[in-house]
Amino acid sequence: MFRRRWAHPALLAIVAFAVAFVFVTWLIPDRPGSEDLPEFDQENVDERKQAFFDYLRPIVRYYNERIAEEREWLLDATESGPPNWLARRRLRELAERYRIDMESVGLEETIELLWRRVDTVPESLVLIQAAKESGWGRSRFAREGNALFGQRCYEEGCGIVPGARTEKSMFEVQSFETAAQSVESYIRNLNTHDRYIVMRRARHQLRQRGADVSGTELAAYLDDYSERGPAYVAEIQSMIRQNDLEANNRQSE
């Protein structure tokens, strides 16, 4: 009697992986910022600035859109009463991503913290801080490690050692495989680090009032981003105004 022979489970797994790889590689477009960082070598300064903004803007919007989707889900899951077990599972995942110890602070405080952390960062602020910290994408750190925001790390080999670093200093400028990863890390840094608690509270209050959340407004709370403090804040705000980014790129997150 003829008996059908089924493929070995390992072979089926290999075929499934191959199909999935082809689907991801060919049918799903690469996220913006996964390619090599452009040279930004235009001789005209205005053209160079525009090229930098044009390159970075889709990356910023990509991550802000993802955060906006998470924030919309958070609203749906919590506005009509205590979340069900499935929603609590997703809340736990969000809490981990946004560096909240849900076991320690409890469900109610986790939701309150998420409301302040799961939020977009104004496009104007991201663009200008990247321009300032990376020399419009042409600094050594940007060229060698896609480091657009001057973020520091403290494990040996985690980034690029600054030439002017003192012997007692142990930090490096964190490097990334792509510019997209640098943008993602910067946004997560503003949304999770204790240094920016006041900024997040101010943003949350603006949201509650239905007011615009602008880069100029939030920059006022970033004096700890640089050792220059208030002078750094003033420069970032001035650069936003000079490049007319609030007028052209105001978002309604």
The 10s digit of each residue's pLDDT in 8-18 is: 554 544 444 44
pLDDT band at 156 (very low <50, low <70, confident <90, very high): confident
Asked if residue 160 is part of any domain, the answer here is yes
Tell me which residue range forms the domain holding 191. Answer: 45-81+119-249
Q: What integer pLDDT is reported at residue 230 of this predicted model?
A: 96
Residue 13 lies inside a defined structural domain of this protein: no
Q: Is residue 25 part of a domain?
A: no
209 in a structural domain: yes
The CATH number of residue 168's host domain is 1.10.530.10
In which band, very low, low, confident or very high, does the pLDDT at 167 lie, cut at 50, 70 and 90? low
Judged against a pLDDT cut of 60, whether residue 2 lies above it is answered with no
The pLDDT > 70 percentage for the chain reads 84
State residue 165's pLDDT score.
Answer: 67
User: What pLDDT, on the 0 to 100 scale, is given for residue 28?
Assistant: 43
Does residue 251 contact residue 64 with C-beta atoms inside 8 Å?
Answer: yes
Element housing 172 (H / E): strand 172-174
* Mean pLDDT of all residues belonging to the chain: 86
Inside any domain, residue 102: no
pLDDT tens figures, 185-217: 999 999 999 999 999 999 999 999 999 999 999
Q: Which long-range contacts (CB under 8 A, 24 or more apart) does 58-63 make?
A: 58/32, 58/33, 59/31, 59/32, 59/33, 59/179, 59/180, 59/183, 60/121, 60/123, 60/126, 60/127, 60/183, 61/123, 62/31, 62/32, 62/33, 62/180, 63/180, 63/183, 63/184, 63/187
Between the ranges 22-31, 81-90, 167-176, 191-200, where is the mean pLDDT highest?
191-200
**Model confidence at 220: pLDDT above 50:** yes
* Counted domains in the chain: 1
Higher pLDDT, 31 or 212: 212
Residue 22 forms part of a structural domain: no
Please indicate, yes or no, if residue 20 is contained in any of the structural domains: no
The pLDDT score that the predictor gives to residue 20 is 46
- Predicted local distance difference test score (pLDDT) of residue 134: 96
User: Which segment of 58-67, 139-148, 232-241, 244-253 scores lowest on mean pLDDT?
Assistant: 244-253
Least confident of 55-69, 160-174, 190-204: 160-174
In a domain, 112, yes or no: no
Give Cα 101 distance to the centre of its chain. Answer: 20
